[in-house]
Structure 1
Amino acid sequence: MAGSGGEQAVRMRLNQYPADPGGGGSTGGGGPDLASSPAEKKAAANTLHNEIEPHTTTAGAWADDETSAVVKAFDAKDGHGWVTSGAVSKAHKTWGEQVKNLANQLSGDESALRSDSTLMTGTDVGVGDKARKVSVFDTYSSPPTH
């Protein structure tokens, strides 16, 4: 519909949530549901490990054979080749790096979900111990000794 008066620019930002992410979620405002209990965090970490990470790696590798065939088909033969071969090869290398970065990020998220409960509990206990050592209220809560 190029040229029609009713064109509307379509823009996408990948570093923020969309204005209306859809779905109701349990928050009522349409925001994402966050795993907050230890069981929910464990389930989310298991989903990352068993489903999302392997499927991401598989999807990332899916184009390897086809891309290699394109690079070979357009590569130099008898000293003459297409610029397309080098461009496709470079794009494929970038794609592989991006897939690897995404897989590493997913693995980091999984680790964070698995260690979050331990970290928070350890922090709570540590803060409680420190606060307990300096509490002036201990002198008031103990019964007087005579």
Structure 2
Amino acid sequence: MVFGQGAGPGGTAGEQSVRLNGLPPDGPMAPAGGQGDLASTPAAKRAAANTIESELEPRTKKAGDRPDDANGKIMSGLDNWATAAGMKTVQETWDQQVKSLMGRLAGEKGALRATAGTLQATDGERKARIGAVQSNFDKY
């Protein structure tokens, strides 16, 4: 870092300014272990997608359906009351929120599966392109 006096971007003369010339060797932006490589685990992404499909989606659906019966009984017992109309609004809102959450889970599951495949395909394509590069050292 360089500290100095003078007008910086948006500053006035005489103010202190700080300019970052590089990242410190340690800290949140430093590469772990000195490596800046992207690490992707397709198996972990598939496992997460499978967890969404086998655990989160069924449990969310079950939890979302649970109030339907109880609210239906309440609304039928409160016919001709303003409370019944309010309960109907609550139930409709609940159903919309459950539907939205189920859609979000499905989207995340699909994205995880697509990302796992995309990254594998990209890695394979890069490996093939690098392997196809001819080097003068190959002659020796």
TM-score class, shorter: 0.5 to 0.7
- Per the TM alignment, residue 118 of structure 1 is displaced from its structure 2 partner at its CA by 1.3
Partner of 1:107: 106
- CA separation of 1:93 and 1:126: change in aligned 2, threshold 3 A: same
Matching of residue 75 in structure 1 with residue 82 in structure 2: no
User: Which residue is equivalent to 1:86?
Assistant: 85
**Do the aligned partners of 2:46 and 2:112 also contact (CA within 8 Å) in 1?**
yes
C-alpha distance in 1, partners of 2:96/2:107? 16
| 1:125 to partner: Cα distance | 5.2
Amino-acid identity (%): 33
Q: How many residues align?
A: 101
Distance 1:73 1:55 in 2: 29
* Structure 2 CA distance for partners of 1:39 and 1:142, relative to 1, 3 Å: closer
Query: Which SS does the other structure have where 1:45 is aligned?
Result: helix
Q: Distance in 2 between matches of 1:127 and 1:40?
A: 21
Task: Give the structure-1-normalised TM-score.
Answer: 0.57
Partner of 2:68: 64
Q: Give, in whole Å, the separation in 2 of the partners of 1:124 and 1:51.
A: 30
Distance 1:131 1:38, change over 3 A: closer
Name which one, 1 or 2, has greater alpha-carbon Rg: 2
Gaps of 5+ in 2: 1-39
